[in-house]
Amino acid sequence: MDEIAVRFEHISMAFPGVLANDDVSLDIKKGEVFALVGENGAGKSTLMNVLYGINTPTDGRVFIKGREMTDFDPKTAISMGVGMVHQHFMLVPSFTVAQNIVLSREPRKGKVFFDNAAAQRKTRELVEEYGLEVDPAEPVEELSVGLQQRVEILKTLYRGAEILILDEPTAVLTPQETDELFAVIRRVVREKGMTVIIITHKLYEVMAISDRVGVMRKGALVGVRNTSDVDERTLASMMVGRPMLYDELEKTGAPGDVMIQVQNLTVRDNRGLTAVDGLSLSVRAGEVLGIAAIEGNGQSELIEAITGMRKIESGHVTICGQDATGLSPGAIRDLGLAHVPEDRLATGLSRDATVTDNLLTGKQRRPEFNRFRFHQRTSTIERYARELYEKFDIRGAGTDVTVGSMSGGNMQKVVIAREFSFDSPVLIVAQPTRGVDVGAIEFIHSRIIARRNAGCAILLCSADLDEVFRLSDRIVTLYEGKITGEYTGPYSKQEIGLGMTGARHDGKEAAS
Amino acid sequence: MKKINWGYLGSLCISVLLAFAIGAVILAVAGFSPLQAYGAMIDGAFSNARHVGDWLEYAMVLCLTGLACVLGSRVGIFNVGGEGQLLLGAVAACQVGVWLTGLSAWIVIPAAALAAMAVGGLYALIPGWLKVKVKVNEVITTIMLNTIAASFCQYLAKGPWKNPNKNMVAATAQLDTRYWFTNLIPNSNLSTAIIAAAVITFLTWYIMQKTSVGYEMKLTGQNPRFAFFSGIKTDRLVILCMVISGAMCGLVGMFRVYGVEHLYRSSISNQYYFEGLTVAMIAQYNPVTVIFLSFFFAILKIGAQGMELSAGVPNQIYLIIQTVIIFFMAAESGIFASLRAGAMRRRARADIRRKGDESHA
């Protein structure tokens, strides 16, 4: 049991301007589940990319099963028994499961032709050997995200992996799928003696699955513990480097008038397929309505339709009592809506513009920022930007730098600062803390609740279920563009998980 | 904008020096004395008041066309059709002058300017509208529209609007002399148009850099989805900028007719818009840089012509130098980024080593 599977010796990894790994030494034992935790940018993925041969370390050595890694490229790493499942799957959607699994090492007929039967047979053998149930003949695009992940794992096993790296594997899974994944991990570790390294920032998962846990902060490994010796609070403090306060968010006031009203809304996605299907919902003033859904079930399209970013096929949207159906984003904002979009880089920011310019957006025509509604009052604008910068605790090199040079968490704070400072009666918040570190999450959550307590109607959409649970007064689950259930606290994770996979709240299975 | 981008300025100077150095090698290989040739170039540009007037006029053309290109690129649309807009503006302005012969210059010149801007603007509206409404790539449409415009103007000059003088082939009727812009330096191309050009240059810079509209334009160009999301009417803004860009090009055509040629013929513009576009690209679409570079390239071009006359060196050396500068400026970001990244990596490695030594000690 104490055989060493991987040894990192004094690994340092420098990228232009940052030291992503700072003298990391770590032993990972054969047959254990090792969790690597840390905030975003702490260097977890960098370290694992070294092991998988994507990064060549600036300094230090890596040993796999006692053999030193000399060439750093994925091919070598794979041949030494390392497999990695990335956060974003690398599968060919139109290929079958078997074709994906054997890709790059295809069985051949007469050295030339692809042998599909052999591929299916080999896949079936793998499936049976590891007990990872999946149909080899099914095209990957037909599979759920959880099953696609299973295909990724099978792919690494096919290539002979004994050390499996999982990068944020549960980010896209429902609670049920997460449980299944953990069962799979336990099985491959117990029965096949594999070593699993799991990168995550969900601490309860660390507690649930790992034997040992390593905490990284600012590129350095700050501690390795037996999971049984620590609790979530200790880990969180190690991650941020100061004691963490999990303050209970204080929610005050009672819901008021209906501010967002969506009636029988139907919206198509980019491929022209129905993404939101006759959906109705309403949000009252002083209330947070959370949407719980697996990615791709229409939540993005719903929000885009409400905010005017996407064409509405049929149905109505009412904001603050006024019809907002089919208006432009600008006109809807004028009705009293502010919007934190799910993808800050594509929609929420201009990365080439300065922090000041990004904070000003939407208010540039206001009289206080313009002489004769035309000539910009530069000093007033700069002062205003600095105020918001302070108020929203943005940390960076000031307001004159481009937003693109900031960390994800600070970029998100720029978006939050801008949108929350409209003091609008309606707020749409999508993925407010995606890729944001723990300290900033606390801050953003408290800001959202502050707006709620001030009487703002908030529609929240997040892939992070814990976030939805924590902030929402009410939750609806969305599946294939339809609402499958409505819940008020105390929430049951299992029940909501079922709603997210299409089982109706009343117990009946949803159509299709 | 308040800060000077020293990195860019340094790259530009190095590129220019390298371009001259390479030009010198080519001159030497071709059997000319580089020193003598470059001397003749400076001489050609500055020794004669007429030449000074010529390059001032040419700088005006480069500056206005360059800014027209910058205006489009600011909102994310690449106007390659300025040449066509310029030609149409020129022929329209000229014919308005011919039609209104007899009326006061106070009526004719504004009317001609309006006609030039309207025609250039409307011609730019086509690709602008197509880009916004049906997502047709503006580079393709504008290039094709250039050809159509050039052929159409040629047709007008040879056909319906032909010069009554039988010896003039492919030229429209001449303007009455009282509509000609006053010449500022005798025998040169320089006319009072440069005053109007200076005003337009200032306005363009002011609107782009100092106003809320300019701010919205910049956001639209940087991230159109974000601009739309924040409530800016991006479609309208893109079309508007394209139309103004076309109107500016049309006006340049009018300046060429009323200031230099006094009738329309194809020599009104010898691909001048593309030279302006080149300036805009080298200037990385910065309006102030466009202004300075316009003078630089104008001096270079007129100087090269003088050099050809006095030293017998083909003025194509101008094209070589210009092309090499473009080449280096295009490679600039890549070359400098890799140099900087290399330096940083070395420094990081050194830091790690030093830290290691300290901890071992």
Q: Are A130 and A262 in the same domain?
A: no
Enumerate residues 327 to 346 of chain A having a beta carbon within 8 A of any beta carbon in chain B.
Answer: 328-331, 333-334, 339, 341, 346
Whether A510 has a pLDDT exceeding 60, the answer reads no
Whether B236 has a pLDDT exceeding 90, the answer reads yes
| Tokens found for residue A333 | 């904002």
Starting at the earlier edge strand, list the strands of the sheet with A18-29.
A18-29, A4-15, A59-64, A67-68
Q: Are A437 and A374 in the same domain?
A: yes
pLDDT confidence tier of residue A508, bands split at 50, 70 and 90:
very low
SS3 B262: coil
A365–B230: do the CB atoms touch at under 8 Å? no
Domain carrying residue A455: 258-500
pLDDT in tens, A204-220: 888 999 999 999 988 89
Find the mean pLDDT for residues B271-289: 93
Q: Is the dihedral of CA B65, B71, B73, B74 positive or negative?
A: positive
Residue A508 falls within a domain, yes or no? no
pLDDT at residue B353 in the model: 66
Find the mean pLDDT for residues A233-239: 84
Residue A495 falls within a domain, yes or no? yes
pLDDT in tens, A457-482: 999 999 888 889 889 999 999 999 99
> Mind spelling out the 3-state secondary structure of A276-338?
EEEEEEEEECCCEEEEECCCCCCHHHHHHHHHCCCCCCEEEEEECCEECCCCCHHHHHHCCEE
Find the mean pLDDT for residues A430-453: 87
pLDDT confidence tier of residue A248, bands split at 50, 70 and 90:
low
φ, ψ of residue A183 to 5 degrees: the values are -60, -40
CATH number at A270 reads: 3.40.50.300
Whether A371 has a pLDDT exceeding 70, the answer reads yes
pLDDT confidence tier of residue B355, bands split at 50, 70 and 90:
low
Q: Are A35 and A111 in the same domain?
A: yes
In chain B, whose CA is at the least distance from the CA of A310? B229
From A204, A281, A179, select the one nearest A498 (Cα to Cα). Answer: A179
Mean of the per-residue pLDDT values of chain B = 90
Q: Are A232 and A265 in the same domain?
A: no
Find the mean pLDDT for residues A28-51: 88
SS3 B357: helix
Residue A249 falls within a domain, yes or no? no
Q: Best of A376, A411, A428 to disrupt the B interface by mutation (most B CBs within 10 Å)?
A: A376
Q: Are A189 and A331 in the same domain?
A: no
- Of residues B298 and A217, the one with the higher pLDDT is B298
* Beta carbons of B287 and B206 less than 8 angstroms apart: no
CA distance A116 to A141: 18
- Of residues A404 and A198, the one with the higher pLDDT is A198
Residue A505 falls within a domain, yes or no? no
From B213, B190, B197, select the one nearest B68 (Cα to Cα). Answer: B197
Q: Are A316 and A430 in the same domain?
A: yes
Find the mean pLDDT for residues A387-415: 88
Q: Is the dihedral of CA A108, A114, A118, A119 positive or negative?
A: positive
What is the model's pTM?
Answer: 0.78
Q: Are A192 and A132 in the same domain?
A: yes
DSSP structure string for B269-286: -SSHHHHHHHHHHHTTT-
pLDDT in tens, B190-213: 999 999 999 999 999 999 999 999
CA distance A340 to A434: 12
Find the mean pLDDT for residues A349-373: 92
pLDDT in tens, A154-187: 999 898 899 999 988 887 777 888 888 999 899 8
Whether B332 has a pLDDT exceeding 90, the answer reads no
Domain boundaries, chain B: 33-312
Q: Are A333 and A461 in the same domain?
A: yes
CA distance A163 to A52: 10
Option in A58, A329, A364 nearest B212 (CB): A364
CA distance B82 to B63: 13
Contact list in B for residue A364 (CB cut-off 8 A) is 212, 215-216
Q: How many domains does chain A have?
A: 2
Whether A343 has a pLDDT exceeding 70, the answer reads yes
pLDDT at residue A240 in the model: 76
Give the residue carrying structure tokens 């709240």: A505
Contact list in B for residue A333 (CB cut-off 8 A) is 230-231
Mean of the per-residue pLDDT values of chain A = 88
Whether A444 has a pLDDT exceeding 50, the answer reads yes
pLDDT at residue A177 in the model: 84
Is the bond preceding A367 in cis, omega lying within 30 degrees of 0?
no
Q: Are A156 and A229 in the same domain?
A: yes
CATH topology (fold) of B33-312 = ABC transporter involved in vitamin B12 uptake, BtuC (1.10.3470)
Q: Are A345 and A486 in the same domain?
A: yes
pLDDT at residue A142 in the model: 84
Residue A421 falls within a domain, yes or no? yes
pLDDT confidence tier of residue B110, bands split at 50, 70 and 90:
very high
Whether B340 has a pLDDT exceeding 80, the answer reads no
Q: Are A345 and A437 in the same domain?
A: yes
Whether A497 has a pLDDT exceeding 90, the answer reads no
Of A240, A272, A291, the residue at which a domain comes to its end is A240
